[in-house]
A and B are shown apart, each in its own frame.
Chain A
């Protein structure tokens, strides 16, 4: 709605608009630089490179795997944090969100200590099943999920807290047990938060660098994701690095748009 005699934006304080423009430039200028400096002619050649193809594939598969793991485990965790009533809940929440503030390299070191060949869990796991997570594609998924899941948990927990518990009561009086209520009522009601949380945690997983290189290494064709490839190329062949960066950017935008469409369709 507009008021007569007032053009859009005319009422914004100058200080605020100036700062907003500065913020926009800060966010968009690097992207513009990337687009301007990219050697487009080499795009086709680069895409044909098996190492690049493998990195791109691994990035996509691992980040979506991390997203799936984060969703399957993170939504129930968010539910427990939002609805549970037990001693030490505040502490548990703080610990669960720790990976958000932990330097990713430290996260990688911590993962190595637990899931490494001689780690707390990794040791017995290797002995019993012969499975080793470090320096494997599964390790990439684990490292990314570790760092990305808290983003989903905070977002979904906030969404759950905002839902009127009365709807769940109503579902119960209509004969829906807790699981059905969760699927038919709670999840659809937090669809927006869930979508936002999924987008955030997926983006975090896709861009993940520190925990991945520490825990899963940088083996081309096996554990080398796009961000690792970009970093590696920057030393030897900066132009390829630019191109890879732009590719990563394109994929991010595409998946974000797809995710958004997906959760829009699921939302009321």
Chain B
């Protein structure tokens, strides 16, 4: 089963125009800044927000295609949704919450009840089957919400910030459990998160959504190594520049330029890992081909890694040891020289 979606819609100030494909058994994390349209994308796939254009297909069956006036209502889409605020029905017991979908799809009361109990056992909550949702802890409620979404055996699973409302302790244990259940799920799975750790531990692939558009898609490793937007670069903790390659140099305007390791032409991204940046109080001599001066702006970090932000023609973050910070007395700010080996500049076309 494959989800093929091309979602185009307008909601308030948000203009969503996102395409994605998720194959069976694949878990894709949708990441992006607040207001990028992540939740709206999930709601559109579930059928809770109508498309203005594009289409949604699951394994060749069209769920929505406005150009043909086609739209399967949410209750007829075999989709399981775990909502950000979970939305367990407060007037129903835990087991009735889990049985809700089975009953709605036409299963008899007793059979639905039995199946719901099985699911509660699977998430380790058979003991609270008779309780009301308000009596549950955040982590328990999250597991009930997951069981409720999975119980009717959906073909597509959508999770909106499944760990966001949990405290650190609960988060750690639920993340592990969630991984197990997601691995067992056969269909495509889409997971919205703003937490890079959740994305990295739960998903195989990332889709980055910014201002309603997919800015990048790929494995976690690919996306963080070669980011294509400032937001991802920030997330991955690398320095990202956008410039113009010409005769072995990359120019960034305002006189800033880098020597490239290879000859590139046209518009390119340049990534420099903070660990590859060296700082000096006096102008360094020797191999590094990229040397420029700047002003120390901030120094922060803890443990054996400190991040130093240097303002200048090419603002950059360097990761250095606390010993280096002390030796160069970076804490007092002032002018520094930045050097980066040409081979440490990773270039890729825009």
A144 and B151 CA atoms in complex are apart in Å by 48
A171 contacts B100, C-beta separation under 8 Å? yes
Interface size class of A (residues with CB under 8 A): 20 to 34
Contacts of B101 in A (CB 8 A): 174-175
Give A178 to B132 CA distance when docked, in angstroms. 24
CB distance from A175 to the nearest CB of B (A): 4
Which residues on A sit within 8 Å (CB–CB) of B90? 189, 268
Q: What is the CB-to-nearest-CB distance from A54 to chain B, in angstroms, rounded to a whole number?
A: 41
A180 to B87, CA, bound (A): 17
Q: Which residues of the other chain, B, contact A189 by a CB distance below 8 angstroms? A: 90-91
Closest chain A residue to B105, Cβ basis: A175
A142-177 at interface with B (beta carbon < 8 Å) = 164, 166-167, 169-177
Task: Given the known inter-chain contacts A164-B87, A188-B91, A191-B91, please indicate yes or no for A172 contacting B100, CB distance below 8 A.
Answer: no
Q: In the complex, are the beta carbons of A174 and B87 less than 8 A apart?
A: no
- Asked if B104 is an interface residue, CB under 8 A from chain A, the answer is yes
Q: Is A184 an interface residue (CB 8 A)?
A: yes
Distance in angstroms between the alpha carbons of A157 and B48 in the assembled complex: 23
In the complex, per-residue mask of A233-268: 1 if CB is within 8 Å of any chain B CB, else 0? 000000000000000000000000000000000011
A175 and B87 form a contact (CB under 8 A): no
Q: How many A-B residue pairs have CB under 8 A?
A: 68
The A-contacting residues of B in range 29-46, CB under 8 angstroms, are 43, 46
Contact with A170, one of B87, B91, B105 (Cβ below 8 angstroms): B87
The answer to whether A175 touches B75, judged by C-beta atoms less than 8 angstroms apart, is: yes
B100 touching A173, Cβ below 8 Å:
no
Return chain B residues, CB-CB under 8 Å to A267: 91
Which of A164, A166, A174, A188 has the most C-beta atoms of chain B within 10 angstroms of its own C-beta?
A174
Closest 10 CB pairs of A and B: A268-B91, A174-B101, A175-B104, A176-B104, A172-B74, A170-B87, A173-B81, A188-B91, A175-B105, A166-B87
B152 within 8 A of A: yes
Most-contacted residue by chain B among A164, A169, A178 (CB, 10 A): A169
Given A172-B48, A176-B104, 16 other A-B residues pairs in contact with their CB atoms under 8 A: A166-B83, A167-B89, A170-B81, A170-B87, A171-B89, A171-B104, A172-B75, A173-B46, A174-B100, A174-B149, A174-B152, A175-B76, A175-B104, A177-B73, A177-B75, A178-B75
Chain A residues within CB distance 8 Å of chain B: 164, 166-167, 169-178, 180-181, 184-185, 188-189, 191, 267-268
> Are A170's CB and B89's CB within 8 A?
yes
Rounded to whole angstroms, the CA-CA distance of A191 and B89 in the bound complex is 14
B interface residues with partner A (beta carbon < 8 Å): 43, 46-48, 73-77, 79-81, 83, 85, 87, 89-92, 100-101, 104-105, 132, 148-149, 152
Q: Say yes or no: A170 contacts B104, CB within 8 Å.
A: no
In the bound assembly, the distance between CA atoms of A103 and B108 in angstroms comes to 52
CB of A185 within 8 A of CB of B89, answer yes
Residue among A170, A172, A173, A176 with the highest chain B CB neighbour number at 10 A: A173
From B148, which residue of chain A is reached at the shortest CB distance? Answer: A174
Show 20 A/B contacts (Cβ-Cβ < 8 Å), sorted by A: A166-B83, A167-B87, A170-B83, A171-B100, A171-B104, A172-B47, A173-B74, A173-B75, A173-B77, A175-B152, A176-B75, A176-B104, A177-B73, A177-B75, A180-B104, A184-B100, A188-B91, A189-B90, A189-B91, A268-B91
Task: Specify the chain A residue showing the minimal Cβ separation from B77.
Answer: A173
A200 to B: closest C-beta gap in Å: 22
Query: Given A174-B100, A175-B152 in contact, is the A166-B132 Cβ separation under 8 Å?
Result: no
What is the chain B residue whose CB lies nearest that of A174? B101
Chain A minimum-CB-distance residue to B91: A268
In the complex, chain A residues whose CB is within 8 Å of the CB of B91: 188-189, 191, 267-268
CB-based contact A174/B132 at 8 Å: no
Q: Are B89 and A173 in contact (CB under 8 A)?
A: no
B105 contact set on A, CB distance < 8 A: 175
